[in-house]
Structure 1
Amino acid sequence: MYKLLSGLRIVEGAAFVAAPSCALHCAQMGAEVIRFDMIGGGPDYHRWPRSPNGPSFYWEGLNKGKKSIAIDLSRSEGRELAVSIATAPGEGAGLFVTNYPVSGFLSHENLAKHRSDIITVRIMGWADGSSAVDYTVNSAIGIPSMTGPESMGDVPVNHVLPAWDLATGTYAAFALLAAERNRRMTGKGEEVRVPLGDVAATSLGHLGQVAEVFVSGEDRPRMGNDLFGALGRDFRTRDNRRVMIVALTKRHWSDLVKALGLREEITAIEAELGVDLASDEGLRFEHRDRLNPLLIAAIEARTLAELERAFEGTGVCWGPYNTLKEAIAAGEPFGTDGRLFDMVEHPSRNRYPTPGAAATLPSQTRLPPVPSGGLGANTDEVLAVVLGLSAAEIGKLHDAGIVAGPAPAGA
């Protein structure tokens, strides 16, 4: 964690990945983030993966460093309380992140009635307000049709990483800070809508894939583990380990050829084809059917250890295939030396490697990640500090069941 965003208070009313990750990024840069949660937890409170004793590792992971107030949002009094927290006064406050629908009690229009300069960052599925998650966005824009081996035919292949959720959360954090900067200059709040579908569509446009299909009239075909547009794929070593090798740059390619002792064979192919394979990654892609057999043979002749020695000190871009368990055991980047991860005790009573901010600021002091306090852990603090309620007023809210305190440890 860092302290760059100290002085900002962000209120989060959200579940699942994109919106909570947006506020998480801000919390890990020093913002105060307050979640309002349903009493007993929202739809993602028990989501997998879960601890052997029950609590969700998923929920703990996305809510590190955040404060939680538990409210009965099914009642009008609870909804009014949530609005009051989101719109509470303060120069660095009035920042709200949500994936609730555009209309309803958390609409920007309703919030702005209570605080005219509020900034609402609303994560959505599709821009028209209809529901979508990462998997349905991917299926709609064609990603599963270009993923996997050619032998799959027209059978879609889903991606296990929720890439659009993560990209949307990151983009939403950027948009939130851009809107906050604008408010500092103009005094005006606004709503920022960030649909997963829009992030996915614009990303494909930025990468040239929309232009590719629009101009050619053809979809990109499946290529299995081959990298589109450059030389790259998986290879198997003599001791039956798989490695990924990619040659994007001239140095990647030249050092790979030298390390594997293939200069003579490559020179012969270049002379035959009349090309300079080091000059253009696209040429290496076009002629991969000639190049890959040479690489396969050279790599199959070596063990993983021999390959490591051959590539040591070179510019070859490569890496072994690991399971996550193997990668964690190997250490970096999962090492608990405080660079990215620290060993932290969580409300689930589990102690495990826990990440802080992904960015490293060498000039700043990096603080260890702060775990979630747990559902409702900060109910009384938020009511007293943010809303200025007295102990008696807070007690009445508890008695009426409008709010609740911390959930039992491990629940």
Structure 2
Amino acid sequence: MSAARPLAGLTVVECASFVAGPTGGMTLGQLGADVIRIDPVGGGSDHLRWPLAPDGDSFYWASLNKGKRSVAVDLRSDEGREIVTALIAAPGPDRGVLIDNVVGRRWMANEVLTARRPDLVHVRVQGYPDGRPAVDYTVNAEVGIPQITGAEEGGAPVNHVLPAWDLVTGLSVSTAVLAALHDRARSGRGAYVELALSDVALAGVANLGWLAEAADRGHERPRHGNHVYGSFGVDFACSDGERVMVVALTEGQWAALTSVTGTREVFAALEQALDADLDLEAERYRLRETIAAVLRPWFAARDVKQVRDELEGARVLWGRYQGMTDVVTAHRTGAHPVLADIDMPGQGSLITGRSPLRWNGKHGAAGAPPRLGADTEQVLAEVLGLAAAEIAGLVDRRVVAAV
């Protein structure tokens, strides 16, 4: 067994849409699990979600579901529901694992499923703990992040495009599955784990100390544009119009920055004039605008290549602002081993991610994207032991769809 596939032999059934649940399944699949994704015949609500390929297929769906096997079932029929239940409750020590984000399906309630398999490991993704729906963008608004994001003079909340809470929830799903399996191996007990997106967001901001700060101060943290809160970090323009982000969190990083920019004596004089100690992170934050004003001419006199060479030579913490097309260009040169080009069924290639975990220095395979329903016949034969004639009958009655 490859070291990058430690979960080989484990079977996981995934009945989930959009980002969080599928991310959890993808994470387990890239570690070797056989993830059987259940979709309604014709595809679920996320099957054609943007971004789309030129022929209309979804880059999003293909990438988040790569490495999984796709089974398409009529979830409104009794026969279809029985097939899904049987897949979930299939016997064997490496089966009986379900990830879902189902709301309102009585036949998929945990007590119904555990009546078929008492040691079921069942991880359910929710919007709110009471079952109400939510998505990343709504819970992010409710935990206060858009109110502290953006320019200082801005009045309206600033949303971000990254579904960060969905991604964290997805990784928490995979953690929950592995923890429950570890417990089942020792105790023989199954587990029903509920994971609400809103709880992930609340726990996230609380664990960073942000809620404690708001409670202590009694008001919102002020917006600072591109300045890093509580430290020194901000963007600078280079002579060629490129921009870089520079951060000095530690005393050593601050010393490196002042040394390479030739500003050490200027800041020493400022310290005396302002009665400040810029070796302290809090002081660099307090005087962030003054520091940025002193440093800007150094960046403005150099193009981004000169800036890169000098900052890297001095071990300054920095990053260049890039577009995603720049990342694609770098990937084409082999700069990012965590990325991979895979073929989408019936058309061109798709840039996607391997597991970021490196086992003995290597990333595992990214996994191939499925075609909706392509694995229906194989899964029903392997897991449920159905004969070809039985499967053909299910296809004829449109209980399942096969490609």
- SS of residue paired to 1:150: coil
Q: Aligned residue for 2:210? A: 209
1:130 alignment partner in structure 2: 132
- Is the 1:336–1:353 contact (alpha carbons within 8 Å) kept by the matching residues of 2? no
The within-5 A match list for 1:301-316 is: 301-316=301-316
Change (3 A) 1:24 1:335: farther
Q: Secondary structure at the match of 2:158?
A: coil
Distance 1:53 1:336, change over 3 A: farther
Cα distance, 1:315 vs structure 2: 1.9
* TM alignment of 1:349-388, pairs within 5 A: 349-362=347-360, 366-388=363-385
Q: Would the aligned equivalents of 2:123 and 2:177 in 1 still touch at CA under 8 Å?
A: yes
Cα-to-partner distance string for 1:154-184 (whole Å, 9 max, x where unaligned):
x111110000000100111111111111111
Shift of 1:368: 2.7
Query: Offset at 1:102?
Result: 6.4
Look up the match of 2:225: 224
Counterpart Cα distance in 2 of 1:327 and 1:180: 38
Alpha-carbon distance between aligned partners in 2 of 1:91 and 1:352, rounded to the nearest angstrom: 35
Aligned in 2, Cα 1:337/1:145: closer, same or farther, shift over 3 Å? closer
Long gaps (5+) in structure 2 = none
CA distance in 2, matches of 1:337, 1:90: 42
Identity fraction in percent = 40
The alpha-carbon deviation at position 312 of structure 1 amounts to 2.7
Contact 1:231–1:246 (CA under 8 A) maintained in structure 2: yes
Residue 286 (structure 1) aligns with: 286
Measured in 2, the distance between the counterparts of 1:288 and 1:260 equals 16
The alignment partner of 2:278 has SS state of coil
Q: Normalised by the size of structure 2, how large is the TM-score?
A: 0.96
Deviation of the 1:230 alpha carbon: 0.6
- CA positional deviation for 1:337: 7.2
Return the letter of the residue paired with 1:263. Answer: R
Partner of 2:169 in structure 1? 168
Give the aligned partner of residue 142 of structure 2. 140
The residue identity in structure 2 corresponding to 1:349 is Q
Matches within 5 A, 1:245-394: 245-278=246-279, 280-331=280-331, 336=334, 339-362=337-360, 366-394=363-391
Corresponding letter in the other structure for 1:239: D
**CA separation of 1:144 and 1:348: change in aligned 2, threshold 3 A:** farther
Q: Relative to structure 1, is the Cα distance of residues 338 and 312 closer, same or farther in structure 2, using a 3 angstrom cutoff? A: closer
Superposition deviation, residue 367 in structure 1? 4.1
- Looking at structure 2, the residues matched to 367 and 330 of structure 1 have their Cα atoms a distance apart, in angstroms, of 20
Q: Which amino acid aligns with 1:362?
A: N
Q: Which amino acid aligns with 1:270?
A: E
- How much does 1:313 deviate? 2.4
Distance in 2, Cα, partners of 1:322 & 1:231 = 21
2:49–2:61: 8 Å Cα contact kept in structure 1? yes
- Is the contact made by 1:7 and 1:31 (CA closer than 8 Å) also made in structure 2? yes
Conserved 8 A contact 1:234-1:245: yes
Inter-CA distance 358–366: structure 2 relative to 1 (3 Å threshold): closer
State the distance in 1 between where 2:333 and 2:212 align: 41
Return the TM-score normalized by structure 1.
0.94
**Inter-CA distance 341–327: structure 2 relative to 1 (3 Å threshold):** closer
Q: C-alpha deviations, 1:32-89, integer Å up to 9, x for none?
A: 1001111110000010000001100000000000001110111121112111111111
Question: Distance in 2 between the 1:328 and 1:252 partners?
Answer: 30
Report whether the alignment pairs 1:92 with 2:125.
no
| Contact kept in structure 1, 2:7 and 2:33, CA below 8 Å | yes
**DSSP 3-state at the match of 1:228:** coil
Does the 8 Å contact 2:143/2:205 carry over to 1? no
Distance in 1, matches of 2:400 and 2:336, equals 37
CA RMSD of aligned residues (A): 1.6
Q: How many residues align structurally?
A: 401
Structure 1, gaps ≥5 residues long: 407-411
CA contact (8 A) 2:243 2:321 kept: yes
C-alpha contact 2:59 2:350 (8 A) present in aligned 1: no
Q: Say if 1:102 and 1:360 are closer, same or farther in 2 by CA, change over 3 A.
A: farther
Counterparts in 2 of 1:335 and 1:77: CA distance versus 1, 3 Å: farther
- Of the structure 1 ranges 17-26 and 366-375, higher mean CA displacement relative to structure 2 is found in 366-375
Q: Is the 8 A contact 1:231 1:284 kept in 2?
A: yes
Distance 2:371 2:81 in 1: 21
Cα deviation for residue 330 of structure 1 reads: 2.5
